[in-house]
Amino acid sequence: MQYRKLGQSGIDASVVAFGAWAIGGWMWGGTEESESIKTIHAAIDCGMGFIDTAPVYGFGTSEKIVGKAIQGKRDKVILATKCGLVWHTDKGNRFFDSDEKQVGHGEAKYTVHRYLGADAIKYEVEESLKRLGTDYIDLYQTHWQDPTTPIEETMEALLDLKKAGKIRAIGVSNATTEEMDRYRAVGPLDSDQEKYSMLDRKLDASNLPYMEKNNMAFLAYSPIAQGLLTGKVGPERKFEDGDQRNNSKRFSVENRKRISAMLDSYKCVAEKHGVTLAQLAIAWTIRQPGCSHALVGARTPQQALENAKAGDIALTNEDVDIINKAVSELVLES
Ligand SMILES: NC(=O)c1ccc[n+]([C@@H]2O[C@H](COP(=O)([O-])OP(=O)(O)OC[C@H]3O[C@@H](n4cnc5c(N)ncnc54)[C@H](OP(=O)(O)O)[C@@H]3O)[C@@H](O)[C@H]2O)c1
């Protein structure tokens, strides 16, 4: 496993990170706690100790499972969580109701707001620390940007948490370069977490070069396109009730066929390196200019071990050219 810095924080984090959304269950057809804990242990044991979670992942469930899994292992973990998607208040900007996004979370229904006021940040950090069973968070990120609170107020609140030793580094997610400029005018910003994969390259000319210019880490989320780039989501694959992939246009049978054909056209690269298509997709992601880390979800110890090994693959320019050509020829129905 390779490690790269989280911006200017001085924190080294594994280039392949464990994404803990799916183990929260919500939008992923449920979760199984003991299997999830085993999965996190497998990740930590093979050097993938960078773990990304969020309060909204299962409305506390993901953070609680991560908290249980890291007891006695805190020193081996770089722990990232988030703030700004709240359901304890209706301040801010209404974002969604939990059942619009596939429920699968008992009977509870939550209305989620984007809110990054100082009052909510102070409340949220304490809730996360309790659920995670720790007294500090390594990387604290604003999950989605709140149009109702000045960024300067948000950043001041985050800097106060840093001064108090509750968080070690500050990051954003789902943010534009203009928004990051405003954060950085108040204090140091170490990372940006965005959707990025072979199928999602909208940020190639904006956020990615911004990272290199401003010495920030770029954390790519959904780097295997929620399974589509692994070769394990063919036209016949069925998902559990409550799994968001049932309702996603990107997962239509026609798109799965087209993606399978694309994977066939570059699987020679995977064979040459003796790796799986999932590993190849992760290795491609962390090789893109400006992209420092890939956050990959896993629900079984086998997936975690497989994904972690991608942190050691060295792709050549020729490998990348073959993959890029195949990707550029892919047209998906929308
Ligand atoms: N900031 C944000 O707004 C935001 C948004 C999305 C995600 N994220 C972060 O990014 C992380 C990763 O994103 P993601 O979970 O959306 O998508 P992803 O990492 O692209 O896909 C994860 C899913 O792919 C399947 N999978 C994982 N490893 C596999 C393997 N080796 N072979 C075959 N299938 C495999 C698993 O589902 P199955 O086994 O069920 O197929 C897993 O749940 C999240 O956990 C979260 O930490 C952040």
CATH of the domain at 209: 3.20.20.100
Q: Which atom of ligand 1 is nearest to the CA of 197?
A: 20
In a domain, 30, yes or no: yes
Q: Is residue 333 part of a domain?
A: no
Is pLDDT at 106 greater than 80 in this prediction? Answer: no
The total domain count for the chain is: 1
Q: Is residue 13 part of a domain?
A: yes
Query: Is 104 a residue whose pLDDT tops 80?
Result: no
Percent of the chain with pLDDT over 70: 98
Q: Is residue 303 part of a domain?
A: yes
- 163 CA to centre of ligand 1 in angstroms: 33
Pocket test for ligand 1, best of 95, 140, 221, 279 (most atoms within 8 A of CB): 221
**Domain residue limits at 66:** 3-328
Active-site residue, 110 included: no
Q: How far apart are CA 238 and CA 245, in angstroms?
A: 9
- Closest residue to atom 25 of ligand 1, CA basis: 227
Higher per-residue pLDDT: 14 or 101? 14
Measured in Å, residue 118 CA sits from the centre of ligand 1 at 30
pLDDT at position 103, please?
Answer: 53
What residue type is 225 in one-letter code?
A
Handedness of CA 175, 311, 235, 332 (dihedral sign): positive
Report the chain's mean pLDDT, rounded to a whole number.
96
Task: Give the CB-side neighbour count of residue 273, counting CA atoms within 13 A.
Answer: 23
pTM for this predicted structure = 0.97
* Domain assignment of residue 274, yes or no: yes
- pLDDT for 145 equals 98
Residue 252 has pLDDT above 80, yes or no: yes
Q: Beta strands of the chain (E only): which ranges? A: 3-5, 12-14, 16-19, 50-52, 78-83, 85-86, 93-97, 111-114, 137-142, 167-173, 191-195, 217-221, 293-297
Mutate to test the pocket of ligand 1, among 229, 259, 275, 295 (most ligand atoms within 8 A of CB): 295
* Interatomic CA distance for residues 155 and 203, integer angstroms: 23
Tell me, yes or no, whether 44 lies in a domain. Answer: yes
Atom of ligand 1 nearest to the CA of 307: 31
Mean per-residue pLDDT, 195-223 = 98
Would 334 be classed as within a structural domain? no
pLDDT tens profile 110-135: 999 999 999 999 999 999 999 999 99
Q: How confident is the model over 24-48, as pLDDT tens digits?
A: 998 998 999 999 999 999 999 999 9
Amino acid (1-letter code) at residue 312: D
Q: Which residue of the set 3, 57, 183, 196 is catalytic?
A: 57
Residue 129, in any domain of the structure: yes
Q: What is the Cα–Cα distance from 197 to 310, expressed in whole angstroms?
A: 14
Mean pLDDT of 166-194: 98
Question: How large is the average pLDDT for residues 222-236?
Answer: 96
| b/e 113-150 (16+ beta carbons within 10 angstroms → b) | bbbbbeebbeebbeebbebbebeebbbbbbbbbbeebe
pLDDT of residue 65: 98
Residue bearing the CA closest to ligand 1, atom 16: 222
Atom 36 of ligand 1: nearest residue by CA position: 298
Amino acid 241: pLDDT: 87
Name the one residue in this structure whose structure tokens are 């420092």: 292
What residues flank ligand 1, with Cβ below 6 Å? 19-22, 52, 143, 173-174, 193, 221-227, 230, 232, 278, 295-299, 303, 306-307
By the 8 A CB rule, do 152 and 131 touch? no
